[in-house]
Amino acid sequence: MLILGFAVFGVWTLWHSSDLSFFKVSAMAGAFSLLVLYALSHLRPGVRSERDALVVRNFSATYTIPWASIRDVDVKAGRGVHVRIEGREKPLSLEAFNGWPAVGRAVRIRDEIDVARRASVGEPSGEVVEEPSRGYTELVLVILIVIMLGVYLFEGARWLIDR
């Protein structure tokens, strides 16, 4: 929705103005839209199934869980999907399926995990590998967003003063 708003603003400014500063603002809006798309693609949690393991990418860490280590998949109404793992007290939350767009997919994900787990029975069990996420992407995105908002404020103030 935000990206659509910036796109509409950019087209409107290009259509209704011949002032060069509006072209700059619309270019900044387009750049900001691309930045938001980049952030959404990199910061979104995900779940990927491989031949021998389930790979869960949450905000805090990436987990590689061998299929034989998965004991149960719990679908809690309104609270997402949780995977119980052998040797861990607390279940691991699949953050990719806790939000609104994924509410209807939780049962389907549970069924897919059960099928993949049954297909890999008999394979040796490995250990769960937890790899903490690096904050570089988030840091770069925060810095770029702050710079972009500062440029917007500067251009807006300059435009108001010039009027």
3-class DSSP state for residue 132? strand
**52 and 124: one domain?**
yes
- Decide if pLDDT at 102 tops 60: no
**92 and 14: one domain?**
no
Q: Which domain holds residue 19?
A: 2-43+138-162
**39 and 50: one domain?**
no
**30 and 13: one domain?**
yes
More confident residue, 159 or 98: 159
**128 and 51: one domain?**
yes
The reported pLDDT for the residue numbered 2 is 58
8 Å CB contact between 63 and 92:
yes
**124 and 54: one domain?**
yes
Count of structural domains within the chain: 2
User: What one-character DSSP code corresponds to residue 102?
Assistant: G
**80 and 58: one domain?**
yes
Question: Would you mind telling me the total number of residues written for the chain in this entry?
Answer: 163
Confidence (pTM): 0.52
